[in-house]
Structure 1
Amino acid sequence: WQIDQVRRGAEEAGRSMSDIKLDLWAAIGLSDDREQAVDEVRHWVASQAESFNKWRELPDFLRPFEHEFKAASDAYDRLEHMSQHAGHVASVSAELVEYLAFVGTADDCLAQIRSLEPLGLDRVTLAFRAGGRQQRMEAIHQGIIAPLNAPAT
């Protein structure tokens, strides 16, 4: 849906899609404990949900979550923006978190990222929670980046 929006905009501006780099920004919660992985990025999803509530028109695939977008918007406290402990994180379900973020084991997240290959993305930028940043970066490198960069066998 968003890529179609970009394509239409490019055409209207007389530009080619080959001139445009597509970069998906998404949160990643990497853990062998799925509930922990979901909780690690719930604050990011709550922020996204709050902003989606402002859209004039939602794409069909987001309509099932419309009530969560409204709840996130109603509960959102800018003073707690992106805080894992913010009250508004309770406004989003694990289902929405799993829909909007990469969550699970390294293998789970790698499979989720690989499933996006047909979209023709140029990059995927991963956001992750603060705290233990070095350890998280190493886990993402070992479990996601290295396998993606490995030669095909």
Structure 2
Amino acid sequence: MDRWGLSMGVSPREPLANVTELAAAAEAKGFEAMWFIDFQLGMKDVYAAMNLAALATEKMYVGSAVTNLLTRHPTVTANATIALDELSNGHAMLGLGAGWSAVYGAGGKPSKLSELSDGIDEFRALFTGEEQELYGTKVKLATATRQIPIYLAVSQPGMLRLCGRKCDGAVLMGAADPEFVDWQLKYIYEGLDKAGRDRSELTIDLVVTMAVDDDEEKAMSGVRAWATSQAATFDVWKTMPAAWEKFRPEFAAANSQYHLVDHLSRHAGHKQVVSDEFVKSVALAGTAEHCVARLKQLCALDIDRITFALLSGGRMRHMEQLADEIIPAVRA
């Protein structure tokens, strides 16, 4: 595995124009994909950010990681993604999920598995550009030119199976832990098998968060907000690897204390509710040697790309560190 991507959201405190410089530099450094977070209450507009990245690059894959079926009508999302595809020279990706921060923040509830399955089918139909019977009427997306690849943000068994059955890619969320990822991959395989699909038909993109520093406590602080967001989503899980059952009290605490307006913020007060042990399990934090060793274990898994979540604060510096120091050491 030697394919690398980046994921980010544009915080209210940073200029959107920064995306242009960062995307161009990332492509020059060899990153092949950039994902942008869709959270309308806590971050700047995802489509503005994605379009800027597309205009600043030539071959970079650009997509939402992830949007949902609720805060925007699927016809609006499809049309906006087609525009992104044009601006990115045919390199758009549609990242879809059940919905969490964006949906809860707007007073909604995440999509059920059946609703997501139907939504994937609807996007496929819209991308044909042909007249379709959808939403109780006849619709035709005049701008459609091709089937834009659909990625599903997945972590739990049902979503993992659905992704294996129907999607072009998986945005694999959860933990930068080999045993955890292996547990998830088995459910993706079940979905592929049920649909009679080959593993090569699915791009598996593992999202990890990493902070490199000789001061372990400082490194831990850099990824704690991400770890807390993951803990909050784990609270509703019915099934998880046995080794993670011990963290359930932390998941409940994170879920009850999480403030959506501070989603992924390094300054959020709620980030202190999870233990160091959980942070070390879900993210990569420590010296360069430690992080490289962990990444090598992940690269040995059956995944196609590793995407690094770039949290706010020194994004360019972190991206350059990844490209110039960490990734070459992993390759070595």
Q: Which TM-score applies when normalising by structure 2?
A: 0.43
Return the structure number with greater strand share.
Answer: 2
Pick aligned residue for 1:106 from 271, 283, 288: 288
Task: Give me the whole-angstrom Cα distance separating, in 2, the residues matched to 1:143 and 1:68.
Answer: 34
Greater helix share, structure number: 1
Alignment correspondent of 1:71? 253
Within the alignment, does 1:142 sit opposite 2:329 as a pair? Answer: no
Query: Offset of 1:143 from its aligned partner?
Result: 2.3
Aligned to 1:14: 196
String of CA shifts for 1:34-68, please: whole Å, max 9, x gaps: 11111001000100110111222222122121111
Runs of 4+ in 1 over 3 A off after TM superposition: none
5+ unaligned residues in a row in structure 1: which ranges? none
Q: Is the 8 A contact 1:27 1:41 kept in 2?
A: yes
TM-score, normalising length from structure 1? Answer: 0.91
Question: Alignment partner for residue 303 of structure 2, among 121, 130, 137?
Answer: 121
Secondary structure class of the residue paired with 2:209: strand
Q: Deviations over 1:62-100 (max 9, x none)?
A: 212111111100111111111122121011111111101
Report the CA distance between 1:108 and its aligned residue. 1.0
The match for 1:88 among 237, 250, 270 is: 270
Range moving further from structure 2, 58-67 or 88-97: 58-67
- Give the secondary structure class of the aligned counterpart of 1:115: helix
CA distance in 2, matches of 1:117, 1:133: 23
Hey, what's the Cα distance between the residues in 2 that align with 1:88 and 1:64?
20
Pick aligned residue for 1:62 from 226, 239, 244: 244
Question: Which has the bigger relative contact order, CA under 8 A and spacing at least 6?
Answer: 1
Aligned residues: 150
Q: In structure 2, how many angstroms separate the alpha carbons of the residues matched to 1:19 and 1:29?
A: 32
After superposition, the CA RMSD in angstroms is: 1.4
- Whose Rg is larger? 2
State the AA in 2 paired with 1:101. A
CA contact (8 A) 1:106 1:140 kept: no
Unmatched tracts of structure 2, length 5 or more: 1-182
